[in-house]
A and B are shown apart, each in its own frame.
Chain A
Amino acid sequence: MDIAFIIEKLILISAILAISLVIAMYTTLAERKFAGFFQDRVGPNRAGPWGLLQPLADGVKLFTKEEIIPTHAGTFLFVLGPSLSMFTACITTAVIPWGQDLFLFGRNISLQVADINVGVLYVFGVVSLGVYGVMIGGWASNNKFSLLAAVRSASQNISYEIAMGLSIIALLMMTGTLSLREISEQQSGMNWNIFYQPLGFLIFMICSFAETNRTPFDLPECETELVGGHHTEYSSMKLGFYLFAEYINMFVSSAIMASLYFGGYNYPGMHLISNPNVAALIGVAAFFTKILLFIFFFIWVRWTVPRFRYDQLMKLGWKVLIPLAIINIALTGAGILFFGK
């Protein structure tokens, strides 16, 4: 634990935080732009060239809005809700391996904040914690619609967490490790897990849509039934936190899908590049390309598929995805037994 190590980690943490915030910021713009494109419009284009300053304008707008705390709301919990959402969204980035090691100043710099050997489980833990932000906020608002949204989001998250966990067990059976770094390393070149686990990936992806509250599973903030859902009573930057946390979650779950199933920082032909630093940097670029593609997919789906009805959502989670995930586990087990992966 020398000084250089601490500095290195501090730089890495701030860089990752900054990158995820900037990406989330521009995802809000991309969402509106692409929504426009999908509907034959052009989207926001007034703030700066092609509307590139729009996220800043939105931020300024949210910051300068009036701060309203409802009279009968529990003040502490009311503030805690959005903060918790934001916090849990941010800390997942700690275990994601962003690239191979760099060799700089005679040091071996790892592009991962913490390589804990239960990385996948850590991600799950944080994801399962994420629902508290919505629940506490929804309850503290002292509003029926917010409460309903909180209850919905709690049951939705719990239901889909099960299918998500089961789908990932099949993957873990193949990789034999819980560390995201080792999982990434095993997929070097084109040896991506998606080719062995297509069904598992499908289930995982559907569940991550549900966990991030994105359409078609955005029932917690279903405007047509619940006014604004859990953030009905929120204004100003507290509302901003809730909205922003959704985009950070989207970024993080894209990163996790990319590193679990799409090879993380691996790309075909990475062994041909002799300079390890160049190879690692291209790897980082490849990883971010994959993440951005996933974010685009999230947006694409949002503007295509309408929202599920609540009973359909539950049916899909419990009666379709969980049995499918169990079948997938059995298939994977059989595969490992016969082909020995």
Chain B
Amino acid sequence: MSHSLFYLLSFITLFFALLVVFAKNPIHSALYMVMTFFAITCQYLILNAQFLAIVNFIVYMGAIMVLILFSIMFLNLNQDTEPQKSSLLKFAGVISAGLLMLTLVGAIVKTGGGDVPFELVNSNIGLVKNLGKVLFNEFLLPFEIASVLLLSAMVGAVLLAKKDIN
């Protein structure tokens, strides 16, 4: 049951991810991306990681994609105004993406990810309570450092956006 669900969801995820790349219209790309994120959210759900699922839903689908759509709408991109990239650039893009894929596949093969989909040892680890306990006990320092990092990024963004710093 959950295996076939997993394969279905993976198919949907990859399908929409490919559409993101191949869609001509950037808005459509962004909307396919939303669908991809939605499929990933469902993947989290079948892993019983409710908190991650919902946060993925809120942050990625609800906020980040809205912001991306928002900026695309302002740019008025469409087929006619899209700058034609040189074929050298396209070539380089294909090469680097291929290399990345090679690395990923290699990594998966190396870690011995067999033909069975990944399964959690402790299936309740994704619930809010457990996740919170883990985050604020074992991983407190990295967690706080990450938040400081985000804060400094935010301050930097505000500084950049301000017209005159003095």
A and B touch in the complex (CB under 8 A): yes
Chain A residues packing against B (C-beta within 8 Å)? 77, 116-118, 121-122, 124-125, 127-129, 131-132, 135-136, 139, 147, 150-151, 154-155, 157-158, 161, 178
Within 8 A of A (CB), among B50-68: 50-51, 54-55, 57-58, 61-63, 66-67
Residue from A77, A128, A161 whose CB has the most chain B CB atoms within 10 Å:
A128
Interface stretch, picked from B12-20, B69-77, B106-114, is B69-77
Contact A136 B31 (CB under 8 A): yes
- Does B62 lie within 8 Å of A125, measured CB to CB? yes
User: Taking the nearest CB of chain A, how far is it from the CB of B33, in angstroms?
Assistant: 12
Distance between A180 CB and nearest chain B CB, rounded to angstroms: 13
Contact of A151 with B73 in the complex, beta carbons under 8 Å:
yes
Quick one: which of B34, B50, B54, B70 contacts A154, CB cutoff 8 A? B70
Interface contact A132-B34, CB-CB below 8 Å: yes
Q: What are 13 A-B contacts defined by CB distance under 8 Å?
A: A116-B50, A117-B128, A118-B128, A122-B54, A125-B58, A127-B62, A128-B58, A128-B61, A128-B62, A128-B63, A135-B69, A139-B73, A154-B69
The answer to whether A132 and B58 have CB atoms under 8 Å apart is no
10 smallest beta-carbon distances between A and B, as pairs: A128-B62, A125-B57, A121-B54, A125-B58, A154-B70, A118-B50, A154-B66, A118-B54, A128-B58, A124-B58
> Chain B's interface: helix, strand, loop or mixed, by majority?
helix
Let me know if B50 and A117 touch, CB within 8 A. yes
A147-B67 in contact (CB<8A): no
* Contact call A132/B66, Cβ cutoff below 8 A: yes
Which A residues touch B31, using CB under 8 A?
77, 136
B46 interface hit (Cβ, 8 Å): no
- Which of chain A's residues have a CB closer than 8 A to the CB of B141? none
Say whether A151 contacts B70, CB under 8 Å.
yes
CA distance A122 to B61 in the complex (A): 13
Q: Within 8 Å of chain A (Cβ to Cβ): is B149?
A: no
Bound Cα distance A131, B70 (Å): 11
Q: Does B40 contact A (CB under 8 A)?
A: no
User: Smallest CB-CB separation from B55: which chain A residue?
Assistant: A121
Report yes or no: B74 in contact with A151, Cβ–Cβ below 8 A.
Answer: yes
Q: Using A161-B62, A178-B128 as known contacts, say yes or no to A125 and B73 having CB atoms under 8 A apart.
A: no
Q: Which residues of B contact A122 (CB under 8 A)?
A: 54
CB distance from A253 to the nearest CB of B (A): 16
Contact (Cβ within 8 A) B70 A155: yes
**CA–CA, A150 to B66, complex, Å?**
10
The reply to whether A161 and B128 contact each other, CB–CB distance below 8 Å, is no
Cβ of A5 to closest chain B Cβ, rounded Å: 19
A residues within 8 A CB of B67?
154, 158
Q: A310 to nearest B CB, angstroms?
A: 15
Residues of A within 8 A of B50 (CB): 116-118
Query: Does chain A have a CB within 8 A of B27?
Result: yes
B-side contacts of A155, CB under 8 Å: 70
Alpha-carbon separation in the docked complex, A147 to B62 (Å): 19
Residues on A with beta carbons closer than 8 Å to the beta carbon of B69: 135, 139, 154
Q: Does B127 contact A (CB under 8 A)?
A: yes
> In the complex the two chains form, is B66's CB within 8 Å of A157's CB?
yes
**B66 closest partner in A (C-beta):** A154
